[in-house]
Amino acid sequence: MAALDRELRTLAYRRPGWISGNASLERVTSSIEFVFGEDRKDQLLLLVKDGDGLTRYQSPHWPADLDPDAIDLALKDAGSVGDGDADTVSERTPRGPPWAESEGTWRSRGGGRQASPFTKAPRFCFVKTASSLWRVGVMGNDRERLVLALNCAGLQEELHRLRNGFLVVLPLALLLIGWGGWWVAGQAVRPLRRIADVADGMTARGLDQRIPSSGEDPEINRLIRVLNGMMDRLEASFRQATRFGADASHELKTPLAVMQGELEHALQSATPGSPEQRVFANLLEETQRLKTITRGLLLLARADAGQLPLTLESVDLGEALEELTEDIEALAAQHRIRVERSETPGLRVRGDATLLRQAMQNLLHNAVHYNETDGWIGITLNRQDTEVRFEVSNGGPGIAEAERPRLFERF
């Protein structure tokens, strides 16, 4: 609206002679037609009244539903415009051109006298009729009033058209922006997603995997180079640790075998029941324990390297359990532990017999070791659908909640 008000004020101040008593007001129509065009001349109205309220000029096309006498022509002095006046503009009205001589008259460039310039503060307001909405500007001085009215119907139609177009275009624009943002974000995170997929698929057997280059993105390529270098060092360290475990286990096998042979010979040569025989027996037991640990280390080293040999065959779990139970019952009897067994005969699985027996033996030994005196051990072997289930339970304190995540840690 400020721009519209400035346009009305500019039209008025462009020709102060419009309200001159000597000017031909009929020429105003020609000026309006020249400025606005023949097809838009009806959009601007002009009304001039003198100090007594008599109409000196009124546009020929003044609409019937707009009463000129109903327009408020009251104006304030230019220096007394208040901020609270809703119908006035905040800008002061110019006092007239520099050649103004007095408050009553001023001299034109040609030397003739013209009507007084606008000394009152202009006021702008909306006037609504049955057919249109008009923006009205009232300007003048103590002797005359100039009223300019501009039809806002076209402006309103344009605003409505813009609003409707905006409502139609906005969802499409939001959709395009959303799709474009999703596509750009997808392109940006695609290399990161590829990095995450490769990192997620890395295991002890897949340390040789590397992240491929992402193309022309220098920052992502630098990140990929750093991660690939880190994986190179990790793979080298892991392989070195694996080789050390395998080599150490292999090298310890021969000395331990020699120690076991010598201790067995010394044990047989010692006096029965003597302290020397007990010492040799304890040393032989610890040597056998070291051999078991060495075999376990070698087994883990081969498994980590993906070189664990598996001999797959049909294994009778009932027969294996029968052999293991005899040893466990003898060990449990020393602690007055009762062994209860329930099994379905003839259950067979396909696997490595040695590793299966070792896993079952570890569970049974733990059931005895982590138990109470006069306790019990429950052993169950049965079939559930397509699976064979082997369960070992005891009357011990159970595994603490904090220790359960570490059940499958080594040693």
Helix (H) or strand (E) holding 237: helix 218-269
CB-based contacts of 285: which residues, under 8 Å, 6+ apart?
A: none
Residue type, 268: Q
R_g of the chain computed on alpha carbons: 53
Question: How confident is the model over 107-116, as pLDDT tens digits?
Answer: 444 444 444 4
CA distance 48 to 118: 13
User: Which residues in the chain show pLDDT less than 70?
Assistant: 1-41, 78-117, 203-206, 214-216, 245, 305-307, 410-411
Instruction: Please state which CATH class domain 218-304 belongs to.
Output: mainly alpha
The encoded tokens of residue 1 equal 């609206």
Residue with tokens 């993906």, as numbered in its chain: 306
- For 143, other C-beta atoms within 10 Å of its C-beta total 14
At 95 the pLDDT is: 38
The encoded tokens of residue 133 equal 């909405």
CB-based contacts of 397: which residues, under 8 Å, 6+ apart?
A: 370, 372
CA distance 49 to 42: 20
Q: Quote the DSSP letter at residue 211.
A: P
- Residue 49, beta-bridge partner list: 55, 145
CA distance 278 to 294: 24
At 201 the pLDDT is: 73
- Residue 127: phi, psi to the nearest 5? -125, 120
> According to CATH, where is 3.30.565.10 located in the chain?
312-406
Cα–Cα distances in Å, from 343 out to 127, 185, 236, 311, 329? 101, 59, 47, 25, 16
Question: How confident is the model over 176-210, as pLDDT tens digits?
Answer: 999 999 888 887 778 788 788 877 777 656 677 78
Q: What is the pTM of this model?
A: 0.41
Burial of 12 (0-12, 13-18, 19+ CB in 10 A): buried
Residue with tokens 């090298």, as numbered in its chain: 251
Query: Nearest-5° angle of CA 17, CA 20, CA 21?
Result: 155
CATH topology of domain 312-406: Heat Shock Protein 90 (3.30.565)
Residue type, 142: D
At 178 the pLDDT is: 92
> According to CATH, where is 1.10.287.130 located in the chain?
218-304
CA distance 298 to 397: 33
Contact 15, 25 (CB under 8 A): no
Q: Quote the DSSP letter at residue 253.
A: H
Alpha-carbon dihedral sign for residues 80, 83, 84, 86: positive
The encoded tokens of residue 56 equal 């000196």
At 163 the pLDDT is: 87
At 97 the pLDDT is: 36
